[in-house]
C-alpha cells in the first residue's frame, strides 16, 4: 500500500476516534490492512481520567461505561462521569485553593468568606450517589431531547467539607424570609447573551440544609477541576444538577432562582408541553437499581451458574432490599448485599446467584427503600426524559449457550 493511501486510512480511523487499543480495517480495492487507532484523547480538563472507562457524548459530557462500574462501592475519580453546561473555569483557580472566595447572602451576618476560613468551621464526610437527572434516558424509545445516557451518568463518591449548617451558624443564622438555598457557579458566560439564559444557578428547598456540604475533597483527594474544584455544593440524595460546581455565591432566598437552569430546565414537564416554573423541579432522586454484570450485548454465557451484580440506591432514603428476576419480572428472588453500608445516601452493591439454561433471558432488578417504596415497573414519561427509574427499561437481555 502506498504511503498516501496509508495516511488516508489512518486519518479516517482518527476521525472516527476509535478507542485506544482497538483495531480497525481499512478496505481499499478489496485489500485489507489492519490499522491500530491512536490512543483516545479526552478533553484537557479531564485528560487525567481513564479514557477506556468513559464514553464521550460531547466535550462536556463523559459517561462511565457499564463495564467499568466494577464491584467496589466507591467510584474512582478517574472513571466518574462528567456533565457540565459550560466549559470549566481556568485551572489557575486551583493554584491557591484556600484563597477561593465564596459570596454569601440571606444571612444575618452575610459576607465574603474564603475556603481557608470555611475549613476552620468544621468537617464532615459523606458518601453519596452522584447522578444526572438524565441517567437512563437512552432506554426510552423514540426521540427524546437530551444526552443519551445509559446507566453511566452516576457514581458513588465520598465528599469531605464543611456542613452548610455550620456556615449558617457562623454567619449569624438565616434571614427569616429564607425558603431556598440558591447556589451560583463561577463559569464564564459568553458575551452578548442574557446571563439568565446560561447562568449555572439552582435552588433547592431549605430542608436540604441539614445534610448539605460545601465540599473541597473527593475520594480523599482535593476536588479536581472536572468535578467542581476548589469548592462544590453537595446536596446528598438530590440530582447532580443541584450540586453546583465552582460555587461562587451561596444565597438563602425567598424565591427560586430565575435562571433558565432553574425556571425551565430540569423539571418534569409533560410530553408536548412547554417547560416552565409550574412544573415539578428535579430535586430529590427516585429510588433506582440496575444490573452491571453480566453486561448486555456481550458474549453468550455458558449454561449453568451465573452471578448477577448491580447497584441500588434510595435517593434520600436507605435501601432495604433488592430483588432480581431472570425471566423479565415474572418471578423474583432476593439478592444479597455484597459491600459495606456507607449510609443512606450511598448505593448498595448487590449479588444474586442463579442458574441459567440455554436460550435468551431478561434480567431485571428492583429495589425497595427503608420506607417500603418499590422501584416502579414503568417510567413517568416527561418531555426531557428525566428521572427514568423503570426497572423494565433498565432490564437487560442475555444469551446463554
Q: For 357-371, how does the pLDDT look when each residue is reduced to its tens digit (9 = 90+)?
A: 999 999 999 999 999
Peptide bond into 230 cis (omega under 30): yes
Residue 18 pLDDT grade (very low, low, confident, very high; cuts 50, 70, 90)? very low
Asked if residue 115 has pLDDT above 80, the reply is yes
CA nearest 211: which of 341, 312, 316? Answer: 316
CB 151 within 8 A of CB 289: no
Asked if residue 50 has pLDDT above 90, the reply is yes
CB 162 within 8 A of CB 122: yes
Residue 142 pLDDT grade (very low, low, confident, very high; cuts 50, 70, 90)? confident
Residue 31 pLDDT grade (very low, low, confident, very high; cuts 50, 70, 90)? very low
Cell of 153: 451518568
Q: For residue 45, what are the contacts with CB-CB under 8 A and spacing of at least 6?
A: 87, 88, 91, 225, 226
Structure confidence at residue 184 (pLDDT): 98
The H-or-E segment that residue 6 falls in is helix 3-16
DSSP bridge partners of 24: 35
Domain limits, the chain: 3-36, 51-281, 288-400
Structure confidence at residue 297 (pLDDT): 81
Structure confidence at residue 298 (pLDDT): 79
CB 397 within 8 A of CB 362: yes
For residue range 248-260, what is the model confidence (pLDDT) as tens digits?
999 999 999 999 9
Residues of the chain with pLDDT > 90, as a percent, come to 87
* First-residue to last-residue Cα distance in the chain: 42
DSSP 105-142: ESBTT---EEHHHHHTT--EEEEEEEE-TTTTGGGSSS
Asked if residue 27 has pLDDT above 60, the reply is no
Distance between CA atoms of residues 197 and 240, nearest Å? 19
Give the number of other CB atoms < 10 A from CB of residue 100.
21
Compute the average pLDDT of residues 86-92.
97
Structure confidence at residue 74 (pLDDT): 97
Structure confidence at residue 25 (pLDDT): 29
Residues of the chain with pLDDT > 70, as a percent, come to 90
Q: What global pTM score does this model have?
A: 0.89
Distance between CA atoms of residues 351 and 353, nearest Å? 7
Compute the average pLDDT of residues 8-32.
33
CA 374 to chain centroid: 22
Distance between CA atoms of residues 213 and 237, nearest Å? 12
Structure confidence at residue 241 (pLDDT): 98
Compute the average pLDDT of residues 201-221.
98
Distance between CA atoms of residues 34 and 207, nearest Å? 59
For residue range 279-321, what is the model confidence (pLDDT) as tens digits?
999 999 999 999 999 988 878 999 999 999 999 999 999 999 9
Asked if residue 189 has pLDDT above 80, the reply is yes
Asked if residue 131 has pLDDT above 50, the reply is yes
Higher pLDDT, 10 or 120: 120
Structure confidence at residue 155 (pLDDT): 98
CB 395 within 8 A of CB 362: yes
Higher pLDDT, 182 or 7: 182
Three-state SS for 271?
Answer: coil
Q: Which fold has domain 288-400?
A: Immunoglobulin-like (2.60.40)
DSSP 222-255: EPPGGGTTT-EEE-TTB-GGGS-SSEEEEEEESS
Strands (E), 12-86: 23-28, 31-36, 54-58, 61-64, 82-83
Q: Is 86 exposed, middle or buried (0-12, 13-18, 19+ CB in 10 A)?
A: middle
Compute the average pLDDT of residues 83-93.
96
Q: What is residue 162's DSSP assignment?
A: E
Asked if residue 30 has pLDDT above 70, the reply is no
To which residue does cell 480511523 refer?
A: 13
Q: For residue 281, what are the contacts with CB-CB under 8 A and spacing of at least 6?
A: 256, 262, 266, 267, 268
Q: What is residue 38's DSSP assignment?
A: P
Asked if residue 78 has pLDDT above 80, the reply is yes
Asked if residue 39 has pLDDT above 90, the reply is no
Q: Which fold has domain 51-281?
A: Sulfite Oxidase; Chain A, domain 2 (3.90.420)
CA nearest 44: which of 90, 100, 95, 77? Answer: 90
- Mean pLDDT in the chain? 91
Q: For residue 90, what are the contacts with CB-CB under 8 A and spacing of at least 6?
A: none
Compute the average pLDDT of residues 100-129.
98
Sign of CA dihedral 153, 155, 160, 165: positive
Name the pairing type of β-strands 101-105 and 113-114.
Answer: antiparallel
Q: What is residue 76's DSSP assignment?
A: P
Asked if residue 20 has pLDDT above 80, the reply is no
CA 217 to chain centroid: 17
Structure confidence at residue 338 (pLDDT): 95
Structure confidence at residue 7 (pLDDT): 32
Amino acid at each position: 500500500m502506498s504511503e498516501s493511501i496509508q495516511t488516508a486510512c489512518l486519518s479516517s480511523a482518527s476521525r472516527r476516534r476509535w478507542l485506544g487499543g482497538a483495531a480497525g480495517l481499512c478496505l481499499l480495492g478489496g485489500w485489507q490492512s489492519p490499522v491500530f487507532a491512536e490512543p483516545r484523547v479526552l478533553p484537557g480538563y479531564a485528560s487525567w481520567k481513564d479514557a477506556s472507562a468513559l464514553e464521550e457524548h460531547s466535550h462536556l459530557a463523559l459517561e462511565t461505561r457499564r463495564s467499568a462500574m466494577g464491584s467496589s462501592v466507591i467510584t474512582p475519580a478517574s472513571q466518574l462521569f462528567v456533565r457540565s453546561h459550560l466549559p470549566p473555569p481556568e485551572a489557575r483557580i486551583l493554584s491557591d485553593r484556600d484563597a477561593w472566595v465564596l459570596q454569601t447572602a440571606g444571612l444575618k451576618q452575610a459576607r465574603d468568606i474564603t475556603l481557608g476560613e470555611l475549613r476552620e468551621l468544621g468537617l464532615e464526610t459523606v458518601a453519596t450517589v452522584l447522578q444526572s437527572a438524565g441517567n437512563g434516558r437512552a432506554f426510552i424509545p423514540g426521540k427524546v431531547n437530551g444526552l443519551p445516557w445509559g446507566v453511566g451518568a452516576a457514581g458513588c463518591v465520598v465528599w469531605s467539607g464543611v456542613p452548610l449548617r455550620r456556615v449558617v451558624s457562623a454567619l449569624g443564622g438565616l434571614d427569616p424570609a429564607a425558603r431556598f438555598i440558591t447556589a451560583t457557579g463561577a463559569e464564564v458566560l459568553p458575551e452578548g447573551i442574557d446571563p439568565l439564559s446560561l447562568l449555572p444557578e439552582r435552588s433547592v428547598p431549605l430542608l436540604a440544609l441539614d445534610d448539605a456540604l460545601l465540599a473541597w475533597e473527593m475520594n480523599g483527594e482535593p476536588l479536581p477541576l472536572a468535578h467542581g474544584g476548589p469548592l462544590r455544593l453537595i446536596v446528598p440524595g438530590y440530582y447532580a444538577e443541584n450540586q453546583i460546581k465552582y460555587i461562587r455565591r451561596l444565597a438563602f432566598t425567598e424565591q427560586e432562582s430565575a435562571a433558565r437552569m432553574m425556571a425551565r430546565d430540569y423539571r418534569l414537564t409533560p410530553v408536548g408541553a412547554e417547560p416552565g416554573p409550574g412544573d415539578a423541579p428535579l430535586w430529590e432522586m427516585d429510588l433506582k437499581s440496575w444490573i452491571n454484570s453480566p453486561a448486555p450485548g456481550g458474549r453468550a454465557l455458558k449454561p449453568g451458574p451465573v452471578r448477577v451484580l448491580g447497584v441500588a440506591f434510595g435517593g434520600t432514603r436507605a435501601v432495604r432490599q433488592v430483588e432480581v428476576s431472570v425471566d423479565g419480572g415474572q418471578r423474583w428472588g432476593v439478592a444479597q448485599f455484597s459491600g459495606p453500608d456507607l449510609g443512606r445516601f450511598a448505593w448498595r452493591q448487590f449479588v444474586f446467584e442463579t442458574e441459567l439454561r440455554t436460550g435468551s433471558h431478561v434480567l431485571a432488578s428492583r429495589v425497595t427503600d427503608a420506607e417500603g417504596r418499590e422501584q416502579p415497573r414503568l417510567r413517568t414519561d416527561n418531555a426531557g426524559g428525566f428521572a427514568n427509574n423503570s426497572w423494565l427499561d433498565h432490564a437487560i437481555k442475555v444469551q446463554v449457550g
